[in-house]
Structure 1
Amino acid sequence: MPNAPIYFWRTSAGVLAFLSMVVFLAQASVAVAAEAPVSSQQATLSSTDRLVWIGPTWVEQDVRTGAMEAELQSRLGGETFVLRNLGWSGDTVWAESRGIFDPPAAGYSRMLELAKELKPTTIWLSYGANESWAGPAGLEKFVSQYKKLAHDLTSSTGARIVFVTPFAFVHSRGQYRDPSSQNGNMALYVEAIRKLAAEQQAPVIDLFAEVKGEPPLESMNGIHLEPEGERRLARRLVDQIQFVNAEGQALKGLKLTQAEQEELRRAIVAKNTLFFHRWRPQNVTYLTGFRKHEQGNNAVEIAQFDPLVDEAEKAIAAWLKSHQSKTTSPATN
């Protein structure tokens, strides 16, 4: 049915009640069709891709906001791809936030295992912001560990790696400490990421470089972005990607209305929330952790999120396909 709402949740009234608590309204951007030159070092995203995105807080935030993924999905001309967001707040290349009650090495191993389980064709790595606070003294260790992380992921999954740089901290006034003075150190880390990508012949999506004529991204505290800042960062990201179909032909984005983009974003947030609770259940200590002797028998329920995520993605794909008439002809390579 053309232009039908994304009603995947009607399969379970309980899921609808759950999602109503976690999805919030925000103004969304309008997807604009744009051509992008093809380069061997340019990041590409295909309708056949399974993308795993790994990084710190700003990556995880897209689980709740959907700004990045909505912009990405709207650029495939009505086709769709699979995205699994493995962002973790405060994370570093050492997986220091992922250990939970275990050492970081355990969280690192779990991350590699999950990435392999998800069978990605491409992996985006988005580190450098948190590590840059160590300054020049920490740069060598960062590069060494980032190289190891990329190698470990490609070895276990066979996926191609894309490096996504952090964006610059924004000048902040008022009650928050101004982090923008840290951008000098971050520039060192971003340059090291660019060199590492060149060494590995991997694309770089550069979010640190200033866009001429653009004001600073809107931020609540200089580090975390406000909704408008997220939307602008999403457009900065997608403008550096070549979107192609299964045959490798370039695609242009859908020209969605603000209301349509918002509907897409909300459905993506709902899907991501389901997957978040699949891989990061709140009571993980009882399910698989050191108290699993108490309630570990309930761990079987974790996998019950999988069909819900699949149903959500099918509905999103059908909705995008129903809007294909709003796209222009594919660009010619």
Structure 2
Amino acid sequence: MSAKASPLILALGWIALPLLAQEVTQVSPPAAKPAEKAAFEFHDGDKVVLLGNTVFEREQRFGSLEPRLALALGDTKVSMRNLAWSADTVFGHARSYFGPPEEGLQRLTGHLELLKPSVVMLCYGSELAFEKLGGLPDFLTGYRNLLELIRKHAPGARIIIVSPPPLETLPPPLPDQTDANKSLSSFRDALRKFALSQNTYFIDLFELMGGVPKPGVIVKPLTENGVHYTREGYDKLSTKLVEGLGLAIPTVAPAELDPIRREVLAKDELFFNRFRPQNETYLFGFRKHEQGQNAKEIPMFDPLIDQADGKIQAAKAALLAGKKQL
């Protein structure tokens, strides 16, 4: 018999090849799913400091974030201090008062050394929405310097970087925010890479809050003016922030949160007066020769703030205990 294959055998071989390929495909294991992002790990006794501009500073008006985070952490107890400053930048412009930005960073240094945070959550960069990303290189340099400052004066602090949330287009005469949101989307992409390079935890609040909105006027706004969030806006923003940390908030009615929220608002007011007294120029500045003797009263806020922390934890424990009994 000839060693050369006959045409019939060759034809049968060509028919069998697709069948074999199909059989191999069927028995191949399914492709592995991408690994889910690990939850941020909080430790009992953590002190969380919020740093940023208006997005974070205005949160203390509503007390939305801390109650939700407290419930999501269950028996783990953490405290929160809001060091955010409206219109501030990574360079320290707003918190510098009348001096250069360096003065603002010096003030921040003092606050970090006082508080000794173990977790710092930052939200900066909203201004990049209107600068068409022209200032992005300088911004990232400033952000890197700010992180170095935090790590120097709060050694061991774990850092969370949060992207700014989207803006809303409201009826005229308020502006259309379409282009600004496109800039924020591109900025978010750059910030994600930066956060990874700095070995920090990243929360994409821009996408969690809906990403680039559809063109046109927002039907049910969560902001007062397209930029500043309302109480309902902060309730959603806070919920998404906690989800971005990889945590789950127990199901509670809004009214059930009110006892914790009230204690948080009281604590935040005490802390605001502690670190930003209205007459600081007279207490510590160039007019301290007039009322500087009253500066000794400012540290007296500290035990009151600690007591307020205890009331927050007690209100949380009462709510969780009630849930367990149901």
TM-score (norm 2): 0.81
1:133 aligns with one of 106, 127, 130: 130
- Cα 1:212–1:56, aligned 2, differ >3 Å: closer, same or farther? closer
> Does residue 1:236 correspond to 2:252, yes or no?
no
Q: Residue 174 of structure 1: CA displacement?
A: 2.7
Q: Could you tell me which residue of structure 2 aligns to residue 202 of structure 1?
A: 200
Q: 1:1-333 to 2 correspondence within 5 Å?
A: 39-40=37-38, 42-158=39-155, 159-209=157-207, 218-243=222-247, 253-326=249-322
Give the structure with the higher percent helix: 2
Q: Could you tell me which residue of structure 2 aligns to residue 13 of structure 1?
A: none
Q: Distance in 1 between matches of 2:65 and 2:264?
A: 10
Structure with larger Rg: 2
Q: Distance in 1 between matches of 2:295 and 2:111?
A: 16
Q: Residue 179 of structure 1: CA displacement?
A: 3.3
For the 8 Å contact 2:163–2:206, the answer to whether it is kept is yes
For the 8 Å contact 1:132–1:138, the answer to whether it is kept is no
Code of the aligned partner of 1:321: A
- How many residue pairs end up in the alignment? 283
- % identity of equivalent residues: 35
Code of the aligned partner of 2:120: I
Q: Residue 237 of structure 1: CA displacement?
A: 0.8
Q: Residue 38 of structure 1: CA displacement?
A: 7.1
Code of the aligned partner of 1:90: A
Q: Residue 64 of structure 1: CA displacement?
A: 1.3
For the 8 Å contact 1:71–1:234, the answer to whether it is kept is yes
Q: Residue 131 of structure 1: CA displacement?
A: 3.7
SS of 1:163's partner is strand
Code of the aligned partner of 1:218: L
Range 218-227 or range 72-81, more displaced: 72-81
SS of 2:130's partner is helix
Range 133-142 or range 90-99, more displaced: 133-142
Q: Could you tell me which residue of structure 1 aligns to residue 16 of structure 2?
A: none
Q: Distance in 1 between matches of 2:210 and 2:281?
A: 48
For the 8 Å contact 2:242–2:249, the answer to whether it is kept is no
Listed one character per residue, the Cα deviations across residues 199-232 of structure 1 (whole Å, up to 9, x for unaligned) are 1221111111156799966111110112211111
- Cα 1:314–1:202, aligned 2, differ >3 Å: closer, same or farther? same
Q: Which runs of 5+ in 2 are unaligned?
A: 1-34
For the 8 Å contact 2:128–2:183, the answer to whether it is kept is no
Q: Distance in 2 between matches of 1:283 and 1:261?
A: 34
Range 193-202 or range 132-141, more displaced: 132-141
Q: Residue 82 of structure 1: CA displacement?
A: 0.8
Code of the aligned partner of 1:271: K
Q: Residue 43 of structure 1: CA displacement?
A: 2.7
For the 8 Å contact 1:219–1:225, the answer to whether it is kept is yes
For the 8 Å contact 2:256–2:319, the answer to whether it is kept is no
Range 128-137 or range 109-118, more displaced: 128-137
SS of 2:196's partner is helix
SS of 2:80's partner is strand
Q: Could you tell me which residue of structure 1 aligns to residue 8 of structure 2?
A: none
Q: Distance in 1 between matches of 2:251 and 2:322?
A: 6
- Cα 1:212–1:135, aligned 2, differ >3 Å: closer, same or farther? closer
Range 169-178 or range 318-327, more displaced: 318-327
SS of 1:92's partner is coil
Q: Could you tell me which residue of structure 1 aligns to residue 3 of structure 2?
A: none
SS of 1:136's partner is coil
Q: Distance in 1 between matches of 2:135 and 2:180?
A: 14
Runs of 4+ aligned structure 1 residues displaced above 6 Å come to 212-216
Code of the aligned partner of 1:230: Y
For the 8 Å contact 1:52–1:86, the answer to whether it is kept is yes
